Amino acid sequence: MRRMVLAALLLGLGPASAGETVALPTVDNANTRYSALDQITSDNVGRLTVAWTYSTGVLRGHEGAPLVVGHIMYVHTPFPNTVTALDLDQNGKILWRYAPRQEAGVVAVMCCDTVHRGLAYQDGRVFLQLADTTVVALDAETGRVLWSVRNGDPAKGETNTAAVLPVRDRVIVGLSGGEYGARCHVTAYDQATGRRLWRAYATGPDAEMLVDPDKTTELGRPIGRDSSLKSWDGEQWKTGGGCAWGWFSYDPDLNLVYYGTGNPSTWNPAQRPGDNRWAMAIVARDADTGVAKWVYQMTPHDQWDYDGVNEMILTEQAVDGRKRRLLTHFDRNGFGYTLDRETGELLVAEKFDPSVNWAKRIELDRASPAYGRPVVDERYAPGVTGEDETVTGICPGALGAKNQQPAAYSPRTGLFYVPTNHMCMDYEPFHVTYTRGQPYVGATLTLHPPPGTDRTGAFIAWDNLAGRIRWSIPEPFSVWSGALATAGGVVFYGTLEGYLKAVDAETGRELYRFKTPSGIVGNVTTYRHRGRQYVAVLSGIGGWAGIGLAAGLTDSAEGSGAVGGYAALSHYTAAGGQLTVFGLPEP
């Protein structure tokens, strides 16, 4: 019976209400990262103290968040992707540990640190995809491997950093490898057996992308036959990237899975003329068949590495007096998009960081043939100046105005709480030749703050209907932590220096801060155990922004410019790997 109840909760859309169960790193399958727990409020959050801690034993970037199911907490690590079950009834006693064996060579082909964004639970099973792309199902009570299947090939540069998403009787998984010319796909596996149910590529023939030329639409129009093939030069689509290495969301009423695709390969736009479909796109797929209902390409012919993989947040809100099913997405390109998630209609597209300059706006005139496309400022377009020429002052930088660190939504305020980057770049593309399993990048870049400031981040509240910032908290470094909104009127996030912060959901006023042992690139979560609400976060500097400290890099050009761009971070934190759990003092 307990498994049936939990399965029903997971199939529901929207804010999590079962405080003893946090079965997804996104809190719910709508990616709202909102908790209905309200014991910790804006009035008492300042009294939080550390309840207990746990060392993961790994010193790399700790992204994602732990899961809590009943009295068991499941904690993951970066490579080698260890999973540990902790008994909350026994002060975090270790119940079991899963320590997979992976070839060390996988690390060499992982882009932007050895991070892993977490686990997923459904019906007595814990699911994850390892760095070497092996998808694994574990028995939640014992840690025993129930099944495993290889989803990609690291010898071709295919790896994984993302969490998976259980949907009905299947589990949805993505892939990384755009910097190696991988031709990426999204795949559904049977939860009970690991049998592949469908696979959809981001580029190539219609049948392999699982699109219907007449029924799959973009902005209300059928995409037509060979929509991807016609947008690439020759057979470049075979090394075209478009990797879904970010987050998945799911609407059970529409039975649609939503996700974004990443950069086209290579980073040198001169080598791949055309729109390069369907890289840099939002995709809505039928969970049963995998067939795409609609797609929307945000950055056609990407010239900046603005991967479109950030989370799709699903809400129901009133638009012009009528309740609509919405999808809100904060793209790396610096625009916040609001769409009707049933039809793919574009409703809002506005800049959520004031420094964004690569495009003047997104064309919102439905009568225009350029409807939905960015109006590019050619002063900041590397494809215009050509190879071996440096374009300076492009904003945002390649790591985006926001990277994969997920935002949160509160139905109490109707606002989105967004961790952002305030970083620009200088970009020089160069010719590169594809070699299987070798980097296929074709550009060098440096990262730096916008003119007139030395800060590189902000935490903002966003109105997705008006397309504007309601309030903003400047931060000295990019905010690389996932946000959490709660029914207590509190929003939590972490900083690269290592602070867990709590702010008022209405005003952004800081209510609490605590310095953890290392920089926070994990996602804040909350749960209830034995009647008490707790807040938990992983700290361990890393990810693209923290790669210098995580990997011991010192050359400012390394980490695609991140080592130089975040050099000052070494004065505030160091490598680590710890879970810190907070609670109010016992009455």
Write out the catalytic residue numbers.
305
How far apart CA 18 and CA 51 sit, in angstroms, is 21
Task: Choose among 85, 79, 65, 69: nearest CA to 25.
Answer: 65
CB 118 within 8 A of CB 126: no
Beta-carbon contacts of 181 under 8 Å, excluding residues fewer than 6 positions away, are 157, 239, 240, 241, 265, 266, 434, 436, 440
State both tokens at 107: 């690390």
Pairing of the two strands 49-55 and 34-35: unpaired
DSSP states along 437-448: TS----EEEEEE
Beta-carbon contacts of 513 under 8 Å, excluding residues fewer than 6 positions away, are 499, 500, 501, 502
State both tokens at 62: 């700790």
Burial class, 322, CB count within 10 angstroms (exposed 0-12 / middle 13-18 / buried 19+): exposed
State both tokens at 273: 């003329």
Residue 60 DSSP symbol: S
CB 389 within 8 A of CB 428: yes
H or E element in which residue 80 lies = none
Beta-carbon contacts of 442 under 8 Å, excluding residues fewer than 6 positions away, are 266, 267, 268, 271, 429, 430, 431, 432
How far apart CA 203 and CA 164 sit, in angstroms, is 21
Is the preceding peptide bond at 429 cis, omega within 30 degrees of 0?
A: no
How far apart CA 177 and CA 190 sit, in angstroms, is 24
188 three-state secondary structure: strand
Burial class, 42, CB count within 10 angstroms (exposed 0-12 / middle 13-18 / buried 19+): buried
